[in-house]
Structure 1
Amino acid sequence: MTEPLPLLYAHHLARDRRRSAHTVRAYEATAVRLVAFLQAHLGEAVTPETLGRVSAADLRAYLAHRRGDGLVNASAARELSAVRGFLKWAGAEAPRLKGPRVKKGVPRPIAPHEAVALAELVSEEASEPWIAARDWAVLLLLYGAGLRIGEAVGLTGAVLPLGATMSVTGKRDKTRIVPLLPQVRAAIEAYAAITPWGTARDAPLFRGAKGGPLPAGAIRKSVRSARAALGLSERTTPHALRHSFATHLLGRGADLRALQELLGHASLSSTQIYTAVDAAHLLDVYRNAHPRA
């Protein structure tokens, strides 16, 4: 008996794409839901040929069905992304369909384990070991040291050898001293040891695949791909890792003035947004713990 399409898809994700068990479960669950819906919606067994005939109207009907389960915009957008991946695997061309609009608001932090999972997946997807080490180091700089993406990719070999702190030049050429966690320092040193382009003091520390300066857009693109695979919100951007750094420090009792210095904000008002972020995060935790709240 032939295995169901969702199960074959799960095998592909685990074996060929080497996705995490969490990602495989999430994507398989979406495929199971889609196949069950299409069988009822179209009144026929779902085969790869059936998936090839799926229209934009069919997908809109599926999303409307999922809305009935209480799906909000962010979750619906993730569901649509997972559906597209399943259709692509089946050899079908996903119909052009604009995803749900995800409201932008106060930046929400991601949990520490999510930040690590994101960095791990980005590095796992890299085409070469040195690129994997590069991406891991860059993302740890954002989450573990609170750097802006532009600040991280703008570092030169002059920061080596590393110590307990690092001098970072931010907006308006303002320089600040950033403490380096041992894990962040180890990640940078591991990359520096294997990069094929060297670490000359006056050259970019982080290089692109062809040896030029690493574009921030390359990291953003990798994060977009990884967050979809992990089922994370569209708000999970490289800058969100910096937000998470700040929010988690604030939650541990960091002083706003000290946080302002660490982030390189010109004014305290820019840092005060994290008091709202932290309150929003606590409210989320409360609501999740108390469904009737």
Structure 2
Amino acid sequence: MPSGSRYWTVIDDGLNVEPVADRFLRELRFGRDRAESTTKAYAGGIALFLRWCVRTGRDWTTAAADMGLFMIWLKYTPVDGGQVVPGPGSKPVRGDGRINRVLVAVRGFLSFAVVNKEAPQWVLGAIYELADTRDLPLEAQSEDGGLFYRMRARHHLQEPETAVDRASDEEIVALFAACLSARDRLIVLLLSRAGLRRSEAAGLRRSDLHLLPDNRSLSCDVEGAHVHVIRRENVNGAWAKSRHSRAVPVDFLVIQAIDQYLVERQQCAAAARSDFLLVNLFRSPLGNPIPPDAINELFEALCVRAGLGRAVAPHMCRHAFGSNLADSGALLDEIQRLLGHANVSSSQPYLHPSASRLRAAVDRVPTPRALIEGVSQ
């Protein structure tokens, strides 16, 4: 956009922008204040839906009637778009989670189309189950006595419950030891000891660091060392996912890493002009803020250098932080606030206890003496 802001859109085979999809994605980005990465994910899902409509001869405005067939197409049609006839023994090319994410994007797109009179009204009933509030308690009904509706998606695959894919403490130590600079060590710690997302780390400014025991001199009422995570437009494309700013406490390891990095940063004269915390120190353009993708590249190199048996992504360090919080006894609302989750349900997976915690929980249950004596007889 002329302002410098960016969003993802959908084009057809002739490289023409799909107008309704484009309007929806622009509204998502600028009207609803969603991240650029969200428009990328939604654009990918919408593109798959429109591709299916074209290849099966369907009008996208009415194709919601066959959403079940679209789900089968998603499950078995490879990314290259080759024609596949699913049958016994066919291998799925997309998992249930991926299909559900595509469906979320398609439902949002079709709902937008209905509201803007680009698709018929009945489409909402094809993608959502509607129930009026007469079935709900009085406190959940509209105050003026009118009817409003709650909606539930009709099409959704049951995803298997899986544990959070986290980096182990041993892997984090190995990544940290494989770093070649103070900046890279700080990045590993910001993700694994403060739980920042890669974009949040890349978007930090030096003014976001409040490292004093008493920060009132910085016009900040938060006690103790912490960093502020703030959503703002950044030239490097970094974007804090949550609309609400949060202060994340940092421990002595992060503080020490910041001190060592700032000394290293001073050796790069070009870095002085930037308020961004993490900047290019070893390659051009020197002093420019590092983009979020550079953190992915760093982790790929660290995994190779550390000799890890698997790829550890930056987000897995954030998962490690959340899991360590839960294992140390943090409450659900504390995990939610520290990780910047909008909904408490996003923090719920971190509460899955390990086998050692389950064993410790059983061992804490007191055993009556009478039972001990009865068993020993």
Normalising TM by the smaller chain, what interval? 0.5 to 0.7
**Per the alignment, do residues 285 and 149 of structure 1 end up closer, same or farther by CA in structure 2, a change over 3 Å counting?**
farther
Q: Deviations over 1:94-117 (max 9, x none)?
A: xxxxxxxxxx95432233232021
Question: What is the TM-score normalised by the length of structure 1?
Answer: 0.53
Hey, what does 2:171 align to over in structure 1?
Answer: 114
Quote the Cα distance in structure 1 between the aligned partners of 2:253 and 2:227.
Answer: 14
Point out the more displaced range, 225-234 or 204-213.
Answer: 225-234
Hey, what does 1:264 align to over in structure 2?
Answer: 340
Quote the Cα distance in structure 2 between the aligned partners of 1:217 and 1:284.
Answer: 36
Hey, what does 1:152 align to over in structure 2?
Answer: 201
Hey, what does 1:177 align to over in structure 2?
Answer: 247
Hey, what does 2:326 align to over in structure 1?
Answer: 250
Q: Does 1:203 align with 2:283?
A: no
One-letter code of the match for 1:269? Answer: S
Quote the Cα distance in structure 2 between the aligned partners of 1:189 and 1:246.
Answer: 25
**1:192 CA drift (Å):** 1.2
Quote the Cα distance in structure 1 between the aligned partners of 2:355 and 2:310.
Answer: 18
Q: Say which of 183, 189, 198 aligns to 1:134.
A: 183
**1:218 CA drift (Å):** 1.7
Gaps of 5+ in 1: 1-103, 125-131, 287-293
One-letter code of the match for 1:206? Answer: L
For the residue of structure 2 that corresponds to 1:203, the secondary structure is: coil
Gaps of 5+ in 2: 1-160, 213-224, 231-239, 360-377
Q: Deviations over 1:188-207 (max 9, x none)?
A: 1211122114456x621111
Q: Deviations over 1:146-178 (max 9, x none)?
A: 111100110112134623122112324321111
Hey, what does 1:165 align to over in structure 2?
Answer: 226
Q: Deviations over 1:200-241 (max 9, x none)?
A: 6x621111232211022222112123224422433x211000
Q: Say which of 302, 308, 319 aligns to 1:231.
A: 308
Q: Number of residue pairs matched?
A: 171
Quote the Cα distance in structure 1 between the aligned partners of 2:189 and 2:244.
Answer: 22
**Per the alignment, do residues 180 and 283 of structure 1 end up closer, same or farther by CA in structure 2, a change over 3 Å counting?**
closer
**Per the alignment, do residues 260 and 161 of structure 1 end up closer, same or farther by CA in structure 2, a change over 3 Å counting?**
closer
**Per the alignment, do residues 144 and 226 of structure 1 end up closer, same or farther by CA in structure 2, a change over 3 Å counting?**
same
**Per the alignment, do residues 222 and 180 of structure 1 end up closer, same or farther by CA in structure 2, a change over 3 Å counting?**
same
Q: Deviations over 1:116-143 (max 9, x none)?
A: 211221x23xxxxxxx111111110000
**Per the alignment, do residues 161 and 248 of structure 1 end up closer, same or farther by CA in structure 2, a change over 3 Å counting?**
closer
Contact 1:192 1:199 in 2 (8 A): no
Quote the Cα distance in structure 2 between the aligned partners of 1:134 and 1:153.
Answer: 12
Quote the Cα distance in structure 1 between the aligned partners of 2:184 and 2:299.
Answer: 10
Quote the Cα distance in structure 2 between the aligned partners of 1:153 and 1:221.
Answer: 13
Contact 2:229 2:247 in 1 (8 A): yes
**1:253 CA drift (Å):** 0.6
**Greater helix share, structure number:** 1
One-letter code of the match for 1:118? Answer: L
Contact 1:137 1:191 in 2 (8 A): yes
Contact 1:137 1:187 in 2 (8 A): yes
Hey, what does 2:259 align to over in structure 1?
Answer: 189
**Per the alignment, do residues 162 and 262 of structure 1 end up closer, same or farther by CA in structure 2, a change over 3 Å counting?**
same
Quote the Cα distance in structure 2 between the aligned partners of 1:240 and 1:285.
Answer: 23
**Percentage of pairs with the same residue:** 32
One-letter code of the match for 2:292? Answer: A
| Aligned pairs (5 A) from 1:51-62 | none
One-letter code of the match for 1:260? Answer: Q
| Aligned Cα root-mean-square deviation (Å) | 2.7
Quote the Cα distance in structure 2 between the aligned partners of 1:230 and 1:174.
Answer: 38
Question: What is the TM-score normalised by the length of structure 2?
Answer: 0.42
Contact 2:209 2:226 in 1 (8 A): no
Q: Does 1:220 align with 2:281?
A: no
